[in-house]
Structure 1
Amino acid sequence: MNNSSVRQVLQPGIDAAIEGTVKHFNHKNRDLILGPDFARLAGNGTGRTLVTLACYADGLRVLHDAILADGEVGDKHVELVLSYTKLLAENFAKIRPGYSGYAVFERPDFYRFLRQYRNDRGAFGLKNSTTKWAGLRICANLDQVVGDDSPYLTMQRTLLSAAEFVLAVDGGTPTTQNCYENLKAQLNDLCQLTDTTAIELSTIAQSHFNAFDSVIDFE
Structure 2
Amino acid sequence: MEILYEDNDILAINKPAGLVVHPVPQLAGYGTGPDGKSVSEWFVNKYPEAKDVGEKMGEVERPGIVHRIDRETSGILLLAKTKEGHKVLKEQFQNREIEKVYHLFVYGNITENYGTIKLPITRSKKDFRKRTARPAFAQGFGAAKEARTDFAVLKRTEDKSATLVEAKPRTGRTHQIRVHFQAIHHAILGDKLYAPKKPQLLDFERLALHARQIKFRDVSGVEHTVSAKYPKDFQKAIDMLH
Using CA pairs under 8 Å that are at least 6 residues apart, name the structure with larger relative contact order, 1 or 2. Answer: 1
The answer to whether TM tops 0.5 is no
**Going by fraction, where is helix more abundant, 1 or 2?**
1
Kindly name which structure, 1 or 2, has the bigger radius of gyration based on alpha carbons.
2
**1 or 2, which has the higher strand percentage?**
2
Shorter chain as normaliser: what TM range? under 0.3
